[in-house]
Chains A and B, each alone.
Chain A
C-alpha cells in the first residue's frame, strides 16, 4: 500500500518556465511534508518542507503548496534552470508520538529542464 504517490515518473520543461511536481498521500496522520532532490550517484538533498498548519511555503525559486482536504501537495520551481534537472522525491511524516521522525517517500519524478 503506497501511502505517498508521485504519479508522474517524468517531467520535461523548458528553461525559464515553471516546473510543477505533484504528490498525493493517503495517510491522514501525516502532518509534515518534504521535498528532496537527488542527482545521480549522490544522496538525496533536502529542498523544502511544509507543516500541515500551513498551505504554502516559499524558499527562493521553490514553493510548496499543501491541500489537506485533497491530500495533495505540489512543488513549483520558477524559473526552472538546467541545473534543476534531477529526481525529485516527496516525503511525509507523522511527527507525533513514537514516529521517531520516520519518512515515507514517493516513487520520485525525473525532472529534465531543457536549455
Chain B
C-alpha cells in the first residue's frame, strides 16, 4: 500500500463547469503523475510533478492544469469540463527505490454531462 488516496471517487458534472480532483500521498514521494484511462487507449499521462511547484505536461494535457503546493497533494483541474473528459482518472507516485515502478491510487470516475 503506497498510501495514495484520491477524492472524490465519483463525480458527475455539467459541461463548462470547473472540476478539481485531488491526489494525496502520505510517504513523501517526490514524483507524482496524473493519468486518464479510456477504452482502447490504456492509460495516458496528463501531467506530472517532480517536486513542489515543479510540474510539466504529459501526452494529453490540453484542457487540464495541475498544482502542487506541498509534497503530499497533487491537484488536477479541468478548467471547463467537456464530454470528452469523461474518463477514469488515476494518480500515481514513483516508488522510493527509484527504479521506475509507479504505484497507483484507486481512481476517480468522472462523468461530464
Measured CB to CB, the residues of A under 8 A from B are: 4, 6, 32, 34, 36, 41-46, 49, 89, 91, 93, 95, 100-108
Contacts and interface: CB of A to CB of B under 8 A. Distances in A.
Contacts of A103: 33, 43, 45, 100, 102
B106 A43 contact: yes
Contacts, number: 62
Interface of B: 4, 31, 33, 35, 40-45, 48, 50, 56, 58-59, 90, 92, 94, 98-107
A36 B50 CA distance: 22
Contacts of B42: 4, 6, 89, 105-108
Nearest to B59: A104
Given A49-B101, A106-B42, A107-B40, A101 B31 contact: yes
Contacts of A108: 42
A102 B43 CA distance: 12
A42 B100 contact: no
Contact of A44 (B31, B58, B59, B104): B104
